[in-house]
């Protein structure tokens, strides 16, 4: 009210004269108001305004037309662009801007109520309910802040604040042509300077945009990051008035006709931090709602057939340390000695400082164990797959991948840039057919898990290798769950079938070998290509000597104690027969025994119940396995006792029955 009077009375006071001088200066540049209004079937879609110098009018009009035509509410059938000389300007200092992070509409409305309480605005819930009526309005509702009586003469249109812009809008216009944030701040600043207005509430009318704001002169422009439910079209603006009825026309006149330039509008959505994180929180909530939320669990003891969780001892049926070598004193001593001798870390990639005698020794040992010319170490199995596949095939090549392959194979295929052709699970006829279709490609590579990590079944290796030979394709298998598990002496899937080995045998040090790292056993040429091209080999620090030496010691134990492999096999047979006896379908030729549950939440519930009962058996869900095929994944160790396995089978049968 004060400002409006000051403008009208400017001729008479010293203060007013200063303002008038500034207005005149602005006027000299020849400013124009460019307004856009878009509608369809007479219904308002959007409107905006810029105040710009004459030489920018055409560009501005074009940008606003563009914006009218691409509004989220839909395409307009009528766009009005109005250009008017703007004359002299009243300059207003921008309201201070703050952001309030809220996560639900309820929380946002509570925040709005709290913020407006200082201005004596109390009936927030009633006011908020009016936003279902503002959607189709071009302008705002003008409401008596206390009686909630509507004061605008044209209720369908509302009161439209016009002739206002940001002093800096030109620079912005060239950048994007559109800045909702700055426009809302400009509008709110003008509105709070109108006589009789004591506050404003704005909720975006975009169903996907849940942010709004409240404003008063005292609290400034207070963004509220979530003030409505996503998907709700309800939104608009409500101006809150307190004063005599006869002064309402003056207020409307100021809003609709006073020419205003707002100075100091922040250039970017001020603290963007909360807003960026809000979208992250929303994504997390969506994951949670689908029963797909994941978290890490801390084991407070070394992991063997039993371990400690949250101060309780539980039986562990989920470790990939199949032969119980991670805790073996010979293995841990080797790691400790290597740490003292070579240091904790290698300090670099294999191609810089990261190759030490332990690395070379383990590579020789692995090559001899698998019967290949060479072996190459990687920091993890994931890196071994990603690096090897993308080194061997690329654009113009074809990579054929089993539909149930591990994520690290899938990622390697994607990253390679080769055409990825997925064949039916363990279906060698399908693989053959698809290989035949890839004759035109430069190179063909077929890749498969040897033991499928979530199903526990075994690749039909002889026919896999045969199909690859016949179609001149490279063959690669992932022995993460087959090394130390398959074959009489644990050499893996080739020993199991007694057949020729494929071109590439990838494996890990982190499962039956009890340490960490990945490896590839292959011929000299492919090994050299990997050293030269595999980015995960070249651009990552090599595994440290302690891990490498531990794996080497574990491999020596595996070679000298084949009984461990036999014990593992006996345990799997015992466990699956116990389950079958209790009516739970379970079979496996490997150490992995899946129990299919189906529903994601149900699998989670069963797993939680089992933990209560003292058994750590995780639920495996999408995206690790297909949606609706959630399962318990039991991993058996050579060191489990029959008592442990019998008790686990009983607990599983019980939990599945009561779920
Ligand atoms: N005068 C009065 N009411 C208006 C005006 C105006 N000049 N412009 C728009 N409205 C009303 C009208 O009912 C619209 O449908 C509604 O407001 C929404 O207008 O900090 O989306 O231009 O991230 O779509 C605020 C949050 C977003 C910004 C506001 O405005 C932020 C928004 P829109
Ligand atoms: Mg909008």
pLDDT in tens, 324-344: 999 999 999 999 999 999 999
Q: Whose CA is nearest to atom 28 of ligand 1?
A: 181
Measured from the alpha carbon of residue 203, the closest ligand is 1
- How close is the Cα of 162 to the center of ligand 1, in Å? 12
Name every protein residue with a CB atom under 6 angstroms from any ligand 1 atom: 47, 134, 137, 139-140, 160-161, 180-181, 184, 187, 202, 204-206, 211-213, 223, 235-237
How far the first Cα of the chain sits from its last, in Å, is 67
- How close is the Cα of 181 to the center of ligand 1, in Å? 10
Q: Whose CA is nearest to atom 27 of ligand 1?
A: 204
Q: Whose CA is nearest to atom 23 of ligand 1?
A: 181
d(CA 212, CA 112): 10
Residue 156, number of CB atoms within 10 A of its CB: 11
How distant, in Å, are the alpha carbons of 109, 111, 217, 243 from that of 114?
9, 5, 15, 22
- How close is the Cα of 306 to the center of ligand 2, in Å? 58
User: Which of 44, 67, 201, 205 has the most ligand 1 atoms within 8 A of CB, as the residue to mutate?
Assistant: 205
- How close is the Cα of 126 to the center of ligand 2, in Å? 22
d(CA 413, CA 400): 9
Residue 255's contacts (CB-CB under 8 Å, 6 or more residues apart) are 159, 160, 161, 162, 190, 191, 194, 239
Q: Whose CA is nearest to atom 13 of ligand 1?
A: 236
pLDDT in tens, 489-509: 999 999 999 999 999 999 999
Q: Whose CA is nearest to atom 21 of ligand 1?
A: 204
Measured from the alpha carbon of residue 165, the closest ligand is 1
- How close is the Cα of 206 to the center of ligand 2, in Å? 5
What is the pLDDT, as a whole number, of residue 21?
35
Q: Whose CA is nearest to atom 8 of ligand 1?
A: 139
The answer to whether 394 and 535 have CB atoms below 8 angstroms apart is no
Q: Whose CA is nearest to atom 16 of ligand 1?
A: 236
User: Which of 34, 37, 184, 201 has the most ligand 1 atoms within 8 A of CB, as the residue to mutate?
Assistant: 184
d(CA 9, CA 22): 15
Three-point CA angle 70, 75, 81, nearest 5°: 75
The answer to whether 616 and 574 have CB atoms below 8 angstroms apart is no
How distant, in Å, are the alpha carbons of 230, 382, 411, 503 from that of 533?
47, 16, 17, 17
Measured from the alpha carbon of residue 187, the closest ligand is 1
- How close is the Cα of 237 to the center of ligand 1, in Å? 6
- How close is the Cα of 108 to the center of ligand 1, in Å? 18
What is the pLDDT, as a whole number, of residue 536?
97
User: Which of 112, 130, 138, 151 has the most ligand 1 atoms within 8 A of CB, as the residue to mutate?
Assistant: 138
What is the pLDDT, as a whole number, of residue 178?
56
d(CA 68, CA 72): 10
- How close is the Cα of 16 to the center of ligand 1, in Å? 31
What is the pLDDT, as a whole number, of residue 175?
40
d(CA 209, CA 225): 9
Which pairs with CB-CB distance under 8 Å and at least 24 residues apart come from 392-395? 392/416, 392/443, 392/445, 392/474, 392/476, 392/504, 392/526, 392/529, 393/418, 393/443, 393/445, 394/418
d(CA 91, CA 617): 68
Q: Which atom of ligand 1 is nearest to the CA of 206?
A: 21
User: Which of 211, 237, 274, 278 has the most ligand 1 atoms within 8 A of CB, as the residue to mutate?
Assistant: 237
Residue 424, number of CB atoms within 10 A of its CB: 14
545-560 and 357-370 helices, crossing angle to 10° = 30
Q: Which atom of ligand 1 is nearest to the CA of 221?
A: 20
Coil vs helix vs strand at 40: strand
What is the pLDDT, as a whole number, of residue 269?
59
Residues of the chain with pLDDT under 50: 1-28, 174-176
What is the pLDDT, as a whole number, of residue 164?
93
Q: Give the residues across from 85 on adjacent strands.
A: 32
In the chain, count H helices and then E strands: 23, 25
Q: Whose CA is nearest to atom 10 of ligand 1?
A: 139
Listed residues: CB within 5 A of ion ligand 2 = 204-206
The two structure tokens encoding residue 369? 């164990």
Residues classed as catalytic? 453, 481, 511
């Amino acid at each position: 009210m004060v400002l409006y009077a000051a403008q009208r009375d400017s001729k008479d006071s010293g203060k007013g004269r200063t303002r008038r001088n500034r207005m005149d200066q602005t006027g000299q540049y020849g400013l124009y108001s460019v307004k856009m209004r878009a509608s369809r079937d007479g219904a308002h879609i959007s409107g905006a305004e810029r105040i710009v110098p004459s030489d920018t009018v055409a560009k501005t009009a074009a940008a606003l037309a563009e914006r009218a035509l691409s509004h989220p509410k839909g395409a307009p059938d009528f766009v009005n662009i109005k250009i008017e000389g703007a004359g002299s300007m009243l300059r207003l200092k921008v309201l201070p801007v703050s952001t309030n992070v809220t996560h639900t509409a309820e929380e946002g409305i509570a925040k709005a109520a709290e913020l407006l309480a200082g201005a004596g605005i109390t009936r927030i819930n009633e006011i908020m309910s009016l936003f279902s009526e503002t959607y189709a309005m071009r302008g705002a509702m003008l409401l008596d802040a206390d009686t909630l009586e509507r004061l605008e003469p044209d209720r369908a249109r509302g009161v439209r604040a016009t002739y206002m812009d940001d002093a800096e809008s030109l620079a912005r216009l060239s950048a994007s042509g559109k800045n909702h944030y700055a426009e809302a701040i400009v509008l709110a600043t003008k509105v709070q300077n109108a006589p009789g207005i004591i506050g404003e509430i704005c909720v975006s009318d975009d169903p996907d945009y849940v942010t709004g704001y409240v404003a008063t002169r005292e609290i400034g422009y207070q963004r509220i990051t979530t003030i409505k439910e996503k998907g709700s079209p309800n939104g608009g603006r409500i101006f809150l008035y307190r004063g005599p009825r006869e002064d309402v026309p003056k207020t409307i006149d100021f809003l609709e006709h006073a020419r205003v330039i707002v100075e100091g509008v922040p250039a970017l959505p001020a603290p963007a931090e909360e807003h960026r994180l809000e979208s992250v929180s929303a994504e997390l909530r969506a994951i949670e709602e689908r029963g797909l939320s994941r978290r890490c669990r801390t084991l407070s003891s070394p992991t063997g057939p039993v371990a400690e969780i949250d101060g309780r001892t539980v039986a562990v049926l989920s470790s990939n340390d199949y032969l119980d070598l991670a805790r073996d004193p010979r293995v841990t001593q080797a790691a400790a000695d290597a740490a003292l001798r070579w240091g904790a870390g290698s300090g670099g990639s294999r191609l810089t400082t990261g190759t030490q005698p332990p690395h070379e020794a383990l590579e020789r040992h692995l090559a001899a164990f698998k019967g290949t010319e060479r072996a190459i170490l990687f920091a993890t199995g994931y890196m071994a797959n990603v690096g090897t596949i993308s080194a061997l095939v690329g654009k113009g090549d074809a990579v054929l991948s089993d539909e149930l392959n591990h994520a690290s194979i899938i990622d390697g295929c994607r990253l390679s840039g080769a055409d990825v052709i997925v064949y039916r699970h363990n279906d060698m006829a399908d693989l053959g057919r698809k290989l035949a279709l890839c004759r035109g490609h430069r190179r063909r590579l077929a890749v498969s898990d040897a033991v499928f990590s979530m199903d526990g079944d075994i690749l039909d290796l002889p026919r896999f290798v045969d199909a690859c030979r016949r179609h001149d394709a490279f063959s690669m298998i992932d022995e993460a769950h087959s090394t130390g598990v398959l074959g009489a002496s644990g050499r893996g899937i080739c020993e199991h079938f007694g057949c020729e080995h494929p071109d590439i045998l990838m494996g890990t040090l982190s499962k039956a070998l009890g340490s960490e790292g990945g490896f590839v056993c292959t011929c000299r040429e492919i090994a050299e290509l990997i050293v030269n091209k595999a980015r995960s080999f070249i651009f990552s620090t090599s595994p440290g000597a302690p891990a490498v030496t531990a794996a080497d010691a574990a491999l020596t134990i595996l070679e000298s104690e084949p009984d461990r492999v036999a014990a593992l096999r006996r345990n799997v047979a015992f466990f699956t027969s116990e389950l079958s006896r209790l009516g739970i379908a379970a079979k496996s030729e490997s150490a992995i025994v899946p129990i299919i549950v189906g529903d994601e939440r149900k699998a989670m519930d069963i797993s939680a119940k089992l933990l209560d009962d003292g058994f750590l058996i995780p639920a495996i869900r999408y995206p690790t396995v297909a949606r609706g095929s959630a399962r318990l994944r039991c991993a058996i160790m050579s060191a489990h006792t029959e008592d442990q396995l019998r008790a686990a089978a009983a607990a599983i049968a019980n939990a599945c029955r009561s779920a």
